[in-house]
Structure 1
């Protein structure tokens, strides 16, 4: 799925509203573009990446007016901050085809909501929703977009647990990671992981057998304690 396929008629990117999608000759090539209307009424067609990357958020007339009348907003004072780097990386992984993380984000149809094309809006949300310097942004639904209702700030440990490639096991009526089971039982994670993934134990047995227990397998006794 290309970037333009993730954009719907009516989507907003800054002051732009997407009114239609079609094709236009650009440097002699027929390319798919979005036809947009600025809040001031100016119509313009542009490639999808210009919108999703934040390369344009309003027409030139509005941009010049904004510079003249609201210059204090143009310098948000955050370009050297960690939060700004998080914001940039979030947008690049969803829209930049050359970004190494694109296949796992934009390539899967994940996008950043139009509201967050403005760093000031993203910063306001972050500061009002628990952002701290040691936390990372995490999507509750790994198949969902970056948007206020689907995002939260968590520690690195919690984010790693929410990776979509993590394997969860049925234990005590819940789907859980082995690391979570280890925390609850007090057994070493490495021991439970070895029992389940290498030795083929059922999770219930692996989580309830004390360390150092000898067990019989194929007629032999093996010491699986650490």
Structure 2
């Protein structure tokens, strides 16, 4: 980790990462343990597909960037708050996702269990996009039948009723325009019938 963020020397950071990595490599029965054998590594990558593997590595790279690069647009929400990326390699991040049960097309992504905690194997879980958006500071809310509801929950309810997915920003933009939940339902129905 960069010492201008953590106020620790490079040697201390290296020692911390090395001890964490050694602790994680001994977990029995995990893909992490199997990954260090050359044949098993190829088998694991082939089992999820090369493109899906690269996608997991890209997500890891984006998480690292959010935590360490002040020029990243999301740095203020991650590294600026002191959140660190504590995976030893991008492959370790990908293997953690597989250990948690991630599969291609499952609709889930890696999320931190403790929103104020670091990116590290023991603080990761799989979450849907809606769950991740609900954890953010900025969520649009409206009322439906007199109850406060987030735009994510409202979109999921509408999608369940109409039977297919809506564009992610459609419901949020209608809620931000000041519509109630009932008005959003009607507006979406009108757009669907108008097609």
Normalised by the length of structure 2, the TM-score is: 0.51
1:125 aligned residue: 96
1:168 to 1:139, Cα distance in 2 relative to 1, 3 A: farther
Aligned residues: 154
Q: Please, which runs of 5 or more residues in structure 2 have no aligned partner?
A: 22-34, 191-195
Q: Structure 1: how far apart are the matches of 2:122 and 2:146?
A: 28
Q: Structure 2: how far apart are the matches of 1:210 and 1:90?
A: 35
Task: Map residues 97-112 of structure 1 onto 2, 5 A cutoff.
Answer: 97-112=70-85
1:33 aligned residue: none
Q: Structure 1: how far apart are the matches of 2:95 and 2:171?
A: 44
Cα displacement (A) at 1:138: 2.1
1:83 to 1:207, Cα distance in 2 relative to 1, 3 A: same
Larger RCO, structure (CA 8 Å, separation 6 or more): 2
State yes or no: 1:138 paired with 2:111: yes
1:110 alignment partner, SS class: coil
Normalised by the length of structure 1, the TM-score is: 0.46
Q: Structure 2: how far apart are the matches of 1:97 and 1:207?
A: 42
Task: Map residues 1-226 of structure 1 onto 2, 5 A cutoff.
Answer: 4-6=4-6, 13-14=13-14, 16-17=15-16, 81-113=54-86, 116-134=87-105, 135-156=108-129, 158-169=131-142, 176-184=149-157, 186=161, 194=174, 197-198=176-177, 200=178, 203=180, 206-207=181-182, 211=186, 226=190
Please provide the CA RMSD for this pair: 4.8
Cα displacement (A) at 1:83: 2.1
Question: 1:6-40 CA distances to partner (integer Å, 9 max, x unpaired)?
Answer: 3569x9645x149xxxxxxxxxxxxxxxxxxx88x
Q: Structure 2: how far apart are the matches of 1:159 and 1:146?
A: 15
Q: Please, which runs of 5 or more residues in structure 1 have no aligned partner?
A: 19-37, 40-56, 58-71, 213-224
Q: Structure 2: how far apart are the matches of 1:192 and 1:110?
A: 28
Structure number, greater radius of gyration: 1
Cα displacement (A) at 1:94: 0.8
Report the structure, 1 or 2, having the larger strand content: 1
The 8 Å contact of residues 130 and 153 in structure 2, kept in 1 or not, is answered as no
